């Protein structure tokens, strides 16, 4: 089965074609970073308009890349949530319309399930069950994964997500949008132990996260510093260490609680090199294994939506003719695939 995947949940337009026998055939991505840079963050209306302009040209480019025509597509998968409602509507309307016109089934895909399954696009595929850390600009969640669609939420952020805290702290430092990757780069120039940041919610039991206080601590530290380039680099280093240590502590607790040793890490923040190194070292110490998607599949992309959609289409799922989006959509509401 060849599935066209459409991702338009926020500020990236991602289109891909996945073949259940041959693997990924095409992958096209357009980032709106330059569009939103002047505003210091994503402007929802501008994001929606840009998805309107870019989605169909990218669909044509993906078909050309795979040397296919519309007649070769067996199904269409599109992100229906969670995300920005206007952006979701663009991809959902186009995806459902293409499926109707091509007379193939369509399926609505959960954005975070796409991220969760992204490591399965690699050669080394994790076996079920495992614990997943979904860490991005909009979500920080720990999930026990027993199978596709069989998810148990173990913990989540009660305020800012980790990626959101990275971006907001970077903005406080005067770094350009998108701030998270720029802060991580600045942190490589920072000296260790120059500042002591808290590890929020690690002094109590549980697997929930909270990063808003850490952002406030960073703001106060920046205000009290001399504002020099080295001071900002040291603060970036301390902030990143605090976030990574907090994620590591919670991952360790989740694995201990579930008595599992396989960890999947996905979402935009999973591209952070320091986080990868620390989690890989931790997995080696406990005799476990950690799985990451390749860098281009950490951020939003169409490949993960095409793959997740293919699994559900093969299980017989499909969307009806009504176009529905879900700006908020708990993972646990998904149905398990039993095939």
Q: Name the CA dihedral angle for 193, 188, 219, 170, rounded to a multiple of 10 degrees.
A: -170
**Residue 272 annotated as part of some ligand binding site:** yes
**Residue 115 annotated as part of some ligand binding site:** yes
**Residue 174 annotated as part of some ligand binding site:** no
**Residue 135 annotated as part of some ligand binding site:** yes
What is the pairing mode between strands 12-19 and 106-110? unpaired
Instruction: Of 129, 156, 118, give the one whose Cα is nearest residue 265.
Output: 118
**Residue 110 annotated as part of some ligand binding site:** no
Cβ within 8 Å of residue 313, ≥6 positions away:
1, 3, 74, 75, 77, 105, 107
**Residue 75 annotated as part of some ligand binding site:** no
**Residue 67 annotated as part of some ligand binding site:** no
- Quick one: how far is CA 194 from the chain centroid? 31
DSSP 295: G
Q: Where are the alpha helices (DSSP H) in the chain?
A: 33-37, 44-65, 85-102, 111-117, 162-172, 179-187, 212-224, 229-258, 273-285, 302-314
Point out the annotated binding site. 111, 115, 134-138, 167, 180, 272, 300
Could you list the residues known to form a binding site for substrate, using ranges.
Answer: 134-138, 167, 180, 272
Annotated binding site for Fe cation: 111, 115, 300
């Amino acid at each position: 089965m060849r599935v066209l995947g459409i991702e338009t949940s926020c500020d990236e337009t991602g289109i891909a074609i996945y073949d259940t026998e041959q693997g990924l055939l095409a992958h096209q991505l357009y980032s709106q970073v330059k569009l939103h840079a002047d505003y210091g963050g994503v402007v929802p209306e501008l994001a929606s308009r840009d998805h309107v302009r870019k989605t169909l040209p990218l669909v044509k480019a993906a078909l050309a890349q795979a040397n296919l025509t519309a007649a070769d597509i067996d199904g269409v998968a599109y992100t229906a949530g969670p995300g920005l409602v206007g952006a979701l509507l663009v991809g959902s309307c186009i995806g459902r319309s293409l499926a109707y016109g091509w007379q193939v089934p369509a399926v609505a895909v959960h954005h975070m399930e796409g991220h969760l399954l992204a490591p399965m696009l690699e050669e080394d595929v994790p076996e079920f069950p495992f614990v997943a850390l979904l860490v991005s600009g909009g979500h920080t969640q720990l999930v026990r994964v027993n199978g596709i669609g069989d998810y148990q939420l173990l913990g989540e952020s009660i305020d800012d997500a980790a990626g959101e805290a990275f971006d907001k702290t970077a903005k406080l430092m005067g770094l350009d949008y998108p701030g998270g990757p720029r802060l991580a780069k600045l942190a490589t120039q920072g000296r260790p132990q120059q500042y002591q940041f808290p590890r929020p919610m690690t002094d109590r039991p549980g697997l929930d996260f909270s990063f808003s206080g850490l952002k406030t601590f960073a703001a106060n530290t920046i205000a009290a510093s001399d504002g020099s380039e080295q001071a900002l680099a040291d603060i970036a280093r301390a902030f990143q260490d605090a976030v990574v240590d907090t994620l590591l502590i919670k991952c360790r607790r989740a694995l201990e609680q579930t008595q599992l040793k396989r960890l999947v890490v996905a979402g935009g923040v999973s591209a952070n090199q320091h986080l990868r190194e620390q989690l890989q070292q931790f997995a080696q110490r406990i005799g476990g294994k950690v799985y990451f998607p390749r860098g281009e599949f950490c951020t939003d992309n169409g490949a993960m939506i095409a793959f997740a959609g293919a699994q559900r289409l093969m299980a017989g799922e499909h969307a009806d003719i009504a176009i529905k989006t879900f700006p908020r959509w708990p993972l646990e509401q998904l149905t398990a695939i039993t095939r």
